[in-house]
Structure 1
């Protein structure tokens, strides 16, 4: 249970999950009962269990006593609690001027995840984008930013690729489903488009990448929903978490009902998509037609 998750956020999420299990499953206590017993607000306790707030040393000690946690388990939890309070800086800290709070949360989960299931309607997944493609997408999506800020966000995307896919001994296991439209949209000009298609062909052969394409003829099965990512973790104490895109920005989804629905949707999308070899054949045809 020690803090092997790599970020402060993930340490908080892991600790919160363990504390919730002790309260609800082991001791059958409500949030109100525990909050009253340790002298804190219900909302604070709830946020601690969700990994959204740090647990103070005082509250942690009171919870351990209230839950009558055995010494060996208390030692493990104390180590995890200490990890939530370390002043560790993730690699993206130096980009704090351009990274929003929502994006930082996304990066934290991506950094700690063991697998991702991602669906994109009209865009290539971020970890598979070339520099030219990423620059064009970021410049269009963040038109109010200056050139230096756009450069920084492009660097962030490149660092994500290196950290989670290209230059790591534990790459993220990536399951991608995209539509044919994502292959046809010309992003960054014709040359950048060709480079992106070639890069997709290369990365689709990566041992931790599975790329499947939904062809136009199966369109009704593949364009009913917005893009989303589901992150999964090796630590049993950390539940799946999903991110969805909307006009209001990125949404974090951790309700079990939402996650079950998204897993079913992803399974259906996989069923509508071509297999990896057929998908590479389609990418090759589109690349050759536009060359």
Structure 2
């Protein structure tokens, strides 16, 4: 799927219009009045479920105070042909950076449930600004300060899905391998704030954090010996089913074979069974946090 795929473009446009509306401090009802539509129509457009005419998009962009770059991107997306119904392909494809990340943002924003397994780093949705900045600087060592600031801001903006009200916040279930708590990113101070942030976020009703310890307890199915060698995410998208996402420093992979997705879903449940429960996980995180002073 490319950046000009009609489904991706429609969702991307919806995300962009929603962000601009919120920045302009306008409600969906007010936006609807601008183009003579209902707030329900605006919601469907912002959720990527309904096409918007280019002229209506232009009218909203002007009302939202979009700059030239934002306007050009939105109108480009609005010009992509209307999506057509299609069958899920039993294949996988790999997008080269940076396009792969755009696709991921679409999936993440559209999801109502996310299950994430992390074996080396705290998952992006739970990262603090300092922790994220260290990682993003390492990933782009030649980036200037302005570019780095934009990358950090984008990562922080992604976290809005955890506290949004319309639609309801995403249900996030995270398994952190204990190694993620011990690998120092930045400094002891950065790590202390990061782990404290994880504890605070885990208190929200829509977020569950479990730690897979170095010494997991025995389980009936020997799940304690089950190993996942890399991080992965399962994203449940309304009306589109569950998507599987994996990445590394070079790009991302989106397997679409239903059998592969099921294998990862089963694997996630095995990792979950071997992990500590949320209360015990919080105690372990708090204990390790103290080691950072």
Tell whether the structures are fold-level matches, with TM greater than 0.5.
yes
**TM-fit CA distance, 1:137:** 0.7
Contact 2:189/2:292 (<8 A) preserved: no
When residues 253 and 130 of structure 1 are mapped into structure 2, their CA distance, relative to the original with a 3 A threshold, is same
**TM-fit CA distance, 1:84:** 4.6
Q: Deviations over 1:218-260 (max 9, x none)?
A: 397465321111110232xx12111112454211122212101
Structure 2 residues without counterparts, runs of 5 or longer: 1-5, 12-46, 74-96, 218-223
Contact 1:115/1:232 (<8 A) preserved: yes
Q: Which residue of 2 aligns with 1:177?
A: 175
When residues 148 and 11 of structure 1 are mapped into structure 2, their CA distance, relative to the original with a 3 A threshold, is closer
Q: Which residue of 1 aligns with 2:243?
A: 241
Q: Which residue of 1 aligns with 2:284?
A: 282
Question: Which structure dedicates a bigger proportion of its chain to helix?
Answer: 1
Whose radius of gyration is greater, 1 or 2? 1
- Matched pairs, number: 210
Q: Which residue of 2 aligns with 1:9?
A: 8
Aligned alpha-carbon RMSD (Å) = 2.8
What TM-score does the superposition give when structure 2 sets the normalisation length?
A: 0.65
Counterparts in 2 of 1:51-66, with a 5 A limit? Answer: none
Q: Which residue of 2 aligns with 1:255?
A: 257
TM superposition outliers: structure 1 runs of 4+ over 6 Å: none
Contact 1:136/1:187 (<8 A) preserved: yes
Q: Which residue of 2 aligns with 1:132?
A: 130
Q: Which residue of 1 aligns with 2:201?
A: 203
Counterparts in 2 of 1:107-256, with a 5 A limit? Answer: 107-162=105-160, 164-169=161-166, 170-218=168-216, 221=225, 223-235=227-239, 238-246=240-248, 248-256=250-258
Structure-1 separation of matches of 2:53 and 2:99: 19
